[in-house]
Structure 1
Amino acid sequence: PGDIVKEGEELFNVSIMKQEKAVLAPTDAMVKRVLKTADFKENKQMVSVREGELIVELCPVPRTCRNEACGQPIPMENISFCPYCGSPV
């Protein structure tokens, strides 16, 4: 959660009958929450999912700090300064 993804970037893989399918981000977005996780490389176990089940929820990309050295997402709409570096937004 909190990661910014670009349109076409791989979000996760689904394995069906020994075939893998990459699920890509449909648009630029921020990961709001992840409902199912598995680390197959580490523990060699998959997580079952059903058709239509929500796995990852995306939300619009928030404003980001204009300071190129910072670039952090701004968590609120009604603030004038970046809470990370203090630069005006």
Structure 2
Amino acid sequence: MNIGEPQRFIPLEGCFNFRDLGGYQAQDNRTVKYRTLFRADNPQFLTEADAAYVASDLGVAVVIDLRNPEDALESERWPQPSSPIRYANVP
């Protein structure tokens, strides 16, 4: 990591593999901007403090669930329908 680049791994209490995908080179030789695209293992385990940080500090507005619909239905969905963060299952 270069000095001045944001940390790729984002430590959260309830999600153990939340990472910023910024800094990677895209297919067209441009670079993915930091703090615009994230990936996570199990966001349904985020604590309330984690969820607030992800929404307000990181600016996450949409969660895109890449699992097939059957797998997505087997676990608790995050964000909850009442959350201002939108959810889309796009297998």
| TM-score class normalised by the smaller sequence | under 0.3
Bigger Rg, which one: 1
Greater fraction strand? 1
Q: TM-score, normalised by structure 1?
A: 0.24
**TM-score for the superposition, normalised by structure 2:** 0.24
Q: 1 or 2, which has the higher helix percentage?
A: 2
